[in-house]
Amino acid sequence: MPRAVYVLALGIFAMVTSEFVVAGLMPQMAEGLNVTVPQIGYLITAFAVAMAAGGPFLTVALMKLPPRTALLTLFVIFLAGNVLAATATGYSLMLAARIITGIASQAFFGVGISMCAQITRPEVRGRAIAVAMNGLMLGTLLGLPLSTLVGEHFGWRAAFWTITGITVIAALATLLGVPRIERAEGRGGFREEIGVFKKPKLWLVLSTSTFIIGATFSAFSYFNPVLTEVTGFSTGTVPFLLIAYGAATVVGNTVVGRFADRHTVPVLALGLVLNLAFLTAFALLADLPAPAVVCMMGIGLVGVTMNPAMVTRVQRTGNAGPLVNTVHTSFITLGVILGSSIGAVVIDAWGLRGPLWLGAVMAVIGLATVLPDLVRRSASVADPATVRPSAPAERV
């Protein structure tokens, strides 16, 4: 595996840690900025919306730059946003900082994953993407607890300065460890990049990712209240359960990466079926501690861990260019927004088990978007004469 793939994972780790930092320090930030906790909650929404809506535009603006130069430019923008957050004297400046870092983060995912595909052989791209995406999993497992710990002991501004330091290290590692490449695969200018979105199938494939992540985050967003108010765990136990969940995502991501190249669609279908089973069981058995923990861990194994297979399927349907990857990340972020926001609505109607049922419904819809490819693949296997072994797109 090229060293650069691990460097890209470090950059993604910095981005994800910044994304999650607000969630762990809401009371401290509310007091420091003299606003309410719900207002601090809007900073999380602003970051997500900035990612989904602004990231593709920034990617387009950087398309003429060599990939490594684009990554370093994004580090500078992201670094400026984090410094602004660490020094913000009011809510408006903090909001601006979150918008800046959200847009840069989204573009970094797109350019980084595109470069990851470019510097690895086609037959191991899924595995390489899994290595890079471990930055996302480790951001959940280690980044959030680390930033929360720093914020609680040294103040919330110190948490942002810590992320700034991690960002500087990641940028230097990128400068020294990522090779100079003039053109990315599938990168023939804006017209060629945008032209791929004329394919109806690409939009269906992108929607699959939205429903996979939406199903997962409809549950993940409300693990804390479900585990404390329904299952009965103490508030002191929940952080350890969330760390275990994060560890499960690292394991699942590694396993999915092993199979994402040759069995892309079956992996996605199996992941959705298992996630549906875990979400349904969690909704039914949330009041029982042991089954609840098993189901939570199961969601960790087969939820966000589908990323390597999701990226592989999108790249084969569209291309491996930065714009396609950035738009794909926007669809993933849309899943986060839908899962968490609709989950809040269903809680009012059906209680804390509502988001778990919502996740199950979204998993069913996601499975429906995969079935056409699954049926087509099964037909090809049944009739080998219709398969051209040399065509990469057929390894789905």
> What does pLDDT average to over the chain?
87
pLDDT above 50 for 372 = yes
125 or 253, greater pLDDT: 253
Closest residue by Cα to residue 134 from 158, 116, 161? 116
Rounded Cα–Cα distance for residues 200 and 349 (Å):
35
185 or 316, greater pLDDT: 316
Rounded Cα–Cα distance for residues 151 and 21 (Å):
9
pLDDT above 60 for 328 = yes
**Residue that is written with structure tokens 């969940």 in the block:** 245
**Range of lowest pLDDT (139-148, 195-204, 233-242, 333-342):** 139-148
State the pLDDT at residue 137: 82
**CB count in 10 Å sphere of residue 42:** 16
Residue 257 near residue 279, CB atoms below 8 Å = no
- Tell me: the pLDDT tens digits for 174-203? 999 888 876 544 455 677 778 889 999 999
Closest residue by Cα to residue 58 from 95, 96, 117, 101? 101
Residue 114 near residue 184, CB atoms below 8 Å = yes
pLDDT above 80 for 389 = no
Taking the CA atoms of 278, 281, 285 and 291 in sequence, report the sign of the dihedral they define: negative
- Tell me: the pLDDT tens digits for 197-231? 999 999 999 999 999 999 998 998 888 889 989 99
372 or 393, greater pLDDT: 372
SS3 content of the chain, % helix, strand, coil (to 5): 85, 0, 15
Q: Average pLDDT, stretch 222-247?
A: 87
State the pLDDT at residue 384: 55
- Tell me: the pLDDT tens digits for 8-66? 999 999 998 888 788 778 788 888 999 887 788 788 888 888 988 898 889 888 888 88
Joined together, the tokens standing for residue 350 give: 């059906």
**Range of lowest pLDDT (74-83, 180-189, 323-332):** 180-189
Domains of the chain (ranges; CATH) run 1-185 (1.20.1250.20), 190-396 (1.20.1250.20)
Q: Average pLDDT, stretch 82-107?
A: 94
76 or 148, greater pLDDT: 76
State the pLDDT at residue 182: 67
- The pTM for the full model equals 0.83
| Residue 322 confidence class, pLDDT cut points 50, 70, 90 | confident
State the pLDDT at residue 22: 83
**Range of lowest pLDDT (103-107, 232-236, 281-285, 307-311):** 232-236
| Residue 317 confidence class, pLDDT cut points 50, 70, 90 | very high
Q: Average pLDDT, stretch 159-174?
A: 95
pLDDT above 70 for 173 = yes
How buried is 381 (Cβ within 10 angstroms: 0-12 exposed, 13-18 middle, 19+ buried)? exposed
- Tell me: the pLDDT tens digits for 245-286? 989 998 999 999 999 988 999 999 999 999 999 999 999 999
* DSSP labels, 349-364: HH-TTHHHHHHHHHHH
Rounded to whole angstroms, what are the CA distances from 56 to 4, 59, 73? 23, 5, 15
Rounded Cα–Cα distance for residues 223 and 349 (Å):
18
Taking the CA atoms of 331, 222, 78 and 126 in sequence, report the sign of the dihedral they define: negative
Q: Average pLDDT, stretch 310-327?
A: 90
Closest residue by Cα to residue 222 from 338, 356, 345? 356
| Residue 381 confidence class, pLDDT cut points 50, 70, 90 | low
Closest residue by Cα to residue 221 from 361, 45, 15? 45
Half-sphere exposure of 385 (CA within 13 A, CB side): 0
| Residue 100 confidence class, pLDDT cut points 50, 70, 90 | very high
How buried is 393 (Cβ within 10 angstroms: 0-12 exposed, 13-18 middle, 19+ buried)? exposed
Q: What one-character DSSP code corresponds to residue 34?
A: T
Most confident segment among 146-155, 160-169, 383-392: 160-169
Joined together, the tokens standing for residue 389 give: 């072994």
387 or 322, greater pLDDT: 322
State the pLDDT at residue 393: 42
